[in-house]
A and B are shown apart, each in its own frame.
Chain A
């Protein structure tokens, strides 16, 4: 694992994110976001910018509000306060002020959400091809041959054999299900992908291949992504920038290598020192 990490890091570390065309602002701007569960804090006072092509990691221990934050940004739970501005190319738009049809359209075209458990993100009752094709059909594609072609193409891109196209996801291994979920989300060519523990529950060799795949896809498609994980190796490989959360608040943020190699906050130091060295 460590060897592979070193190889990947030295070989093709992404350049620091800058707005490619200079003129464009951040893709996503989050400000003062809060979600409370009654008197308890889910997350509070969270703010950051996400630039086009950038991958932001969110780390922290269980219960620190990572997933709540991700779901609040993605609109899966309604935030209590704060603003989320998204720039689809025509200037920033306040997502929370969008009408429900507009928000749902955004969710299934420009955005994508990769769930920790692939069963939450897949339709287990229909074939892999139908899973990948669903977003295309939701956008109005009505040509069976072309939908199937696109599904086949995407299965190849996530390294699933084309012969499995008509198999149901329930016949897939955990790693394949997760890759299928990624294909199903990326087929609509989203600009922003939310990932909640994308490697959770997978063994390390499968994790490593999945991370390789996600890295390649993110770079190839120029995606922006927000990745929530408790696994620091995952963010080390994927994320350009890092936010560390504790008790619903962001305690430290910065470039990934900077945060991990030179943690400033006591909690981050604890987190980094807790990694098992094999």
Chain B
């Protein structure tokens, strides 16, 4: 613990303890994380702190990351799959200044990956930690507004209501139209909101070798999936879970199997689809892959 003191000195934020939070707070958060790991999918309350950013910007994820970081860690931060969007850039800069840790954009190099709304395309490995930013941890919230009641429903495994939502989806849209924050059943016990990741990423949660931690700052909850946890997406027998697909390939790297973002290119209906995971897309282009709209690969600044 004492080894962390003043480790951030070189980064110019001498007034702060390593990774911004004081050691007692990190201890409290680690206790909640340990409990969450011990009961996969169970939402553990914790005394969430005010962070120097507004709620909804990842205060839960930042606290979990701060509690997990060591000086040797290499941090990657993504927002909607991209390393260079506002949320990702500001959180990465925050930890560069307050913890002085090395950062990376390559999934394989990272030991801790804080994410908003995506799981990277590159397969995760043993020893990596994924930290998810969670706005609303309670999957039953929009069906049952009472916290006392939802807790009881979790305790007694009364999850019929979750299927009422999926039923309603099918009756209105003809298929399960929940495309993100798609509820999952963890180890056959707790129903969990996997944070607003697209349902495309749900299969990556199942039996993942990495540790998955979920932090909700405003709602003051932490939950977790230890490595190699069984995670099933809820569905009906006659309407099985479908992760979705695109008719297009990535216009930049030509990948046919990654999660794509739609990009409007003009005001005449022109659009292309590109990988949401920017690090994955760049690595493929570096390796010589090309899509329909791509120019030859050049290093930035070259």
Give the interface of A toward B (CB within 8 A): 100-101, 104, 123, 125-127, 129-130, 133-135, 137-140, 142-145, 147-148, 165-166
Contacts and interface: CB of A to CB of B under 8 A. Distances in A.
Given A101-B156, A104-B156, A166-B172, A133 B164 contact: yes
Contacts of A138: 158, 160-161
Contacts of B236: 142-144
Contacts, number: 57
B167 A133 contact: yes
Contact of B164 (A134, A140, A145, A148): A134
Nearest to B153: A104
Contacts of B165: 126
A219 B187 CA distance: 44
Interface in B140-172: 143, 152, 156, 158, 160-161, 163-165, 167-168, 170-172
Given A137-B163, A142-B236, A144-B236, A130 B171 contact: yes
B238 A130 contact: no
Given A101-B156, A130-B168, A142-B235, 20 more contacts: A100-B156, A104-B158, A123-B164, A126-B168, A133-B164, A134-B160, A134-B161, A137-B164, A138-B158, A138-B161, A140-B160, A142-B237, A143-B236, A143-B237, A144-B167, A144-B236, A144-B237, A145-B238, A148-B171, A166-B171
A104 B236 CA distance: 24
B206 to A, nearest CB: 19
B4 interface: no
Interface of B: 143, 152, 156, 158, 160-161, 163-165, 167-168, 170-172, 235-239
B160 A130 contact: no
B23 to A, nearest CB: 40
B222 to A, nearest CB: 26
Contacts of A130: 164, 167-168, 171
A143 to B, nearest CB: 5
A16 B171 CA distance: 45
Contacts of A140: 160
Contacts of A126: 164-165, 167-168
Contacts of A125: 143
Nearest to B235: A142
B264 to A, nearest CB: 33
B170 A144 contact: yes
Given A126-B168, A127-B171, A130-B167, A135 B238 contact: no
